Amino acid sequence: MSVNRMFRTCPSSGLVFHEPAEKLMRWNAVAAAVSLLIGGLLAIGVVLTRWQAVHLLPADRFYQFLTAHGLNMLVFWIIFFEIAVLYFASSTLLKARLATPGMAWAGFWLMVLGALVNNYSVFRGDSSVMFTSYAPMGAHPTFYLGLILFAVGALIACFVFFGTLMVAKAERTYHGSVPLVTFGAITAAIIAVFTIASGAIILIPTFLWSVGLVEHIDSLMYKTVWWAFGHSSQQINVAAHVAVWYAVAAIVFGAKPLSEKVSRGAFLLYILFLQLASAHHLLTDPGLTSHWKIFNTSYAMYLAVLASMVHGLTVPGAIEVAQRAKGYTHGLFEWLRKAPWGNPVFSSMFMSLIGFGFLGGISGVMMGTEQLNLIIHNTIYVPGHFHATVVVGTTLAFMGLTYFLIPVLFRREVAFPTLAKWQPYVFGLAMMGVSLFLMGAGTLGVPRRHWDIGFAGNAFGYEFPGAAWLMMALAGIAGLVAIVGGGMYLLITVWSVFLGKKITTPGFQHVRARDGIAPSPQPVAAAIAAHHPSAGAGGLVAPGTFALAMVFLVSFVLYYFINWKYLSTVWPLK
């Protein structure tokens, strides 16, 4: 049989890599890093313009930078990395050969082509329509074409992932249910298929409209269907980074989920309800009824929020149980104090969890409430929220996973280890600052997209309070520090991958699957891929996590109450 069945077992982790899958993971990770570099460079212009005292770019250049920044970060960086995660979670964790590697490469090159075409379109200068690209604001046809090509490539990758699951099942490479991390990846892939299909439904007619073959695109119809693509694309991230949290807990601590049943049930809630939260972008739009809005946000979205809270409880809970088993039992938080805070794999993941929950999660629920949404709709609070979810939550989690993958996947030592130790703190804490300051400014009414909050030269100006200007300045400073943190990540990863010290394994050779891959049961591979009985049964096994959950709950209730109080002052009923 001519099918390539070459596998390699990582000597340090015990993980099994199928050669074509390994190569695809590497190329997708490199494409992701390139997108992050482009998006990061553009962020400098965005940050220094919204910092009103600097106000670097003229309006046209600002919107161009903002468009390219949004697309490179929210779409290209994240989805290239997620495809690598999908191949890792299917082929590597299930020890299976990748289904149709040729199709996977076709998907990858389509994604690369789509990203290039889309960037070309934006840098031409006539497609500064921002990430949302609301019709009837039109872009050059290549803008939509690039996105469509990218989406088709990503869809192919998703089906290669599902095909690999079938291969693994047919060739009996695992027993029983798939590992929890793979189940999280399945959740991400399902949301991705819906996301891409929604994108096709709206972007194909919009492309035809841009070339003159369709006469009219209804703006409300566009917004409604587009957000099924635009917001759901960020829900892929949520499922993927939660899967990464579970993986990192297993990698660093050998942690077992408190209850696999509960964790899988929470992922099921994501599959059923997470995508419906897209409706919160339309809460102030006329034409859609409150029934539709409230069902999709306040009812369905809360079930997805419940799932996030389950994951937010079970991941640190699992870590606490693992740490207590190692003897860190003193008081409520010795397990946390004695955690490996100098290991960037752990520190990235834990800050991702805290930032996603406290900043992104609580603000997301507030925004998803129809009445409260009125306070902050289309203000810079919204970018504050999604920099907490997508950047602190997803990007930081992916950065942490990268530090694990450099030696395991790329077979290189991590370069500049001291810098790597500090990088998650520089990037994560600064980005938490960006989120908080933008949310603060948004609460004071600073618009999301207006280039100049001074409204210089406008007939109808508006004077924002001094605190709003201060918040924007602080967001600018924190943004610059975060860009430095992102630069540190790229320096470490690029240097490690291309110039880092090679890790060689004496006597290494590829083994054919039919001859038996016989991986040695190393702790990491076993911890990620194995199934575990419930660790949380029979009493309070994670009291520290329970205390943290109570802090979260009190913060949540207080913040929710404060916003209702605030609403009553800005919208007096007489």
- In the complex, the residues that contact another protein under the rule CB under 8 A are 162, 165, 177-178, 183, 186-187, 190-191, 193-194, 197-198, 201, 218, 220-221, 224-225, 228, 232, 264, 268, 271-273, 275-276, 278-279, 282, 287-289, 292, 295-296, 300
Structure tokens belonging to residue 207: 């492309």
Q: How far is the CB of 368 from another protein (least distance, A)?
A: 13
**Cα–Cα distance, 14 to 8 (Å, whole number):** 9
* CB 274, min distance to another protein, A: 9
Q: Which is nearer to another protein, 140 or 223 (CB)?
A: 223
Q: Which is nearer to another protein, 171 or 452 (CB)?
A: 171
Q: What is the 3-state secondary structure (H, E, C) of 54-87?
A: CCCCCHHHHHHHHHHHHHHHHHHHHHHHHHHHHH
Residue 442 and residue 382 in contact, taking contact as beta carbons nearer than 8 Å = yes
Q: How far is the CB of 290 from another protein (least distance, A)?
A: 11
Q: How far is the CB of 276 from another protein (least distance, A)?
A: 5
Nearer residue to another protein within complex by CB, 82 or 320: 82
**Least separation in angstroms between CB 192 and another protein:** 10
Query: Phi-psi region for residue 516, left (φ > 0), alpha (ψ -120 to 50) or beta?
Result: left
Question: Least distance in Å: CB of 165 to another protein?
Answer: 6
**Minimal distance, residue 247 CB to another protein, in Å:** 19
363 three-state secondary structure: helix
Q: Rounded distance, CA 220 to CA 13, Å?
A: 51
Chain-centre distance for alpha carbon 16:
25
Cβ-based neighbour number of residue 37 at 10 Å = 17
Contact 468, 441 (CB under 8 A): yes
Which CB, 92 or 128, lies closer to another protein? Answer: 92
> What Å distances lie between residue 151 and 76, 112, 156, 169, CA to CA?
10, 11, 9, 27
**Distant-in-sequence, close-in-space partners of 175: CB < 8 Å, separation ≥ 6:** none
CA–CA dist 395, 160 (Å, integer): 24
CB 187 within 8 A of CB 267: yes
Residue 462 phi/psi, 5-degree rounding, is -150, 135
Residue (of 539, 537, 561, 557) closest to 549 by Cα position: 557
Nearest to 109 by CA among 77, 67, 156, 141: 156
SS (H, E, C) 281-314: HHCCCCCCCHHHHHHHHHHHHHHHHHHHHHHHHH
| CB 227 to another protein: min, Å | 9
Greatest Cα pair distance in the chain:
82
Tokens for 280, please give them.
């919160």
Pick 180 or 405: Cβ nearer another protein: 180
Nearer to another protein, 220 or 550 (CB): 220
Q: Which CB atom, from 95 or from 293, has the smaller least distance to another protein?
A: 293
Closest distance of CB 246 from another protein, Å = 15
Output 106 or 271, the one with its CB closest to another protein: 271
Q: How far is the CB of 29 from another protein (least distance, A)?
A: 24
Q: Which is nearer to another protein, 271 or 419 (CB)?
A: 271
**In the complex, minimum distance from the CB of residue 294 to another protein, in angstroms, rounded to a whole number:** 12
**Residue 329 φ then ψ, to 5°:** -110, 0
The count of other CB atoms within 10 Å of the CB of residue 89 is 28
CA pair distance 348, 426, nearest whole angstrom = 10
Residue written as token pair 């872009």: 139
User: Nearer to another protein by C-beta: 273 or 489?
Assistant: 273
Q: Which one, 93 or 300, has the nearer CB to another protein?
A: 300
